[in-house]
Amino acid sequence: MKATLILANGSVFTGRSIGSTAECVCEMVFNTSMTGYQEILTDPSYAGQGIVMSYPLIGNYGVNHEDNESLRPWASAFVVRHLSPRGSNFRCEGTLDAYLKQYNIPGIEDVDTRALTRILRSQGSMNGMLTCAEHFHVEEALERIRAYRVEHTVERVTCAEPTDLEAHGDRTHRVAVLDYGVKRNIVECLRRRGCAVTVFPASTPAETILAGGYDGVMLTNGPGDPADNTAIIREIRKLYNSDIPIYAICLGHQMLALATGARTGRLDYGHRGGNHPVRDLEAGRVFITSQNHGYMVLSDTVDPAIAQVSHVNVNDGTCEGLRYRRPSCFSTQFHPEASPGPRDTEYLFDRFIASMGGVQ
């Protein structure tokens, strides 16, 4: 079946429908990863977004239940150059096409994803519509496309109630994880290091966390504009004003910065992929990182009396981490748990454990 992708700038791409035939409007972004498409689809940070995979062959190893980063995929749409009709891997439990159909996610293949990526990179991430309709009016579609905004996404992806998860092995610490769109492997990285974890809904009051006797707090990744989450930011400020150890990742990193007086801004086309070089200024080393974000902390708005930039993106110099003057508090923009991507920066989980009084 024919499918059409219309971008907000008026560009039109035609190809073949994959997955669901539902029509959708979403923000179109690109990801440069060569593998890990299932982890990408199930990353809650993609809620409200359509993903363009720049690597030309996707789906060649199928899907399986073990690689999900959450209970379901959150991406609104999926765009590829070529979708493998079958998965070839001993862990394969089904095809990617069937997986997209199962969760009603529309997609398109046989489009020039290189040309599409160049548009999104040069003109910036923009909204788009994916449709299988034979007849449509481009001007009417453009009105809908340009009116769309990614919003209320944290409320969509967060858990409904607290969940307790025991440590793998002997328990050494108890950690409260505030779920703004947490990935499973963030929790698993903590559990493997002896942490019993309680995952809390995003709207949980700070008082509940502070009264729970936890050794530390993890502020997680998630979707959308960080500045939209004003109520959550107020609670983060209360956590910051306590003495509980805090480690914040991605959206959590941005909201913690907002809670302490810094500002955030939108990147032109975002950082999404598993090969982004980041310099750890303290260690004097460059690490290859996994990233997925469209916003950044503006380095020149960070009060040096409150925090200092600890990591920078080698490609564009943007802020990738903050070390706070307040004891036992730091944050990173990139994903130390990877999944997909390199695991070079898992040492940051060890740093978090050490901040709670652990020995690694």
Active site residues: 250, 335, 337
Helix axes 251-259, 230-241, angle to 10 degrees: 70
d(CA 336, CA 285): 15
Distance CA 261, CA 300 (A): 12
DSSP state of 335: B
For the chain, helix, strand, coil in percent to 5 are 25, 35, 40
Nearest C-alpha neighbor of 60 from the set 78, 43, 31, 82:
82
- How would you class 305 by CB atoms within 10 Å of its CB: exposed for 0-12, middle for 13-18, buried for 19 or more? exposed
Cis bond leading into 340, ω under 30°?
A: yes
Structural contact between residues 12 and 24, judged by C-beta atoms closer than 8 angstroms: no
Q: How would DSSP label each residue in 42-86?
A: T-GGGTTEEEEE-SSEE-TT-B-GGG-SSSS---SEEE-SEE-SS
Report how far residue 245's alpha carbon sits from residue 209's, in angstroms, rounded to the nearest whole number: 12
Residue 330, helix vs strand vs coil: strand
**Contacting residues for 39 by C-beta, under 8 A, at least 6 apart:** 67, 68, 69, 183, 339, 340
225, exposed or middle or buried, with CB in 10 Å at 0-12, 13-18, 19+?
Answer: middle
Residue written as tokens 């009264």? 211
Do residues 148 and 23 make contact, with C-beta atoms less than 8 angstroms apart? no
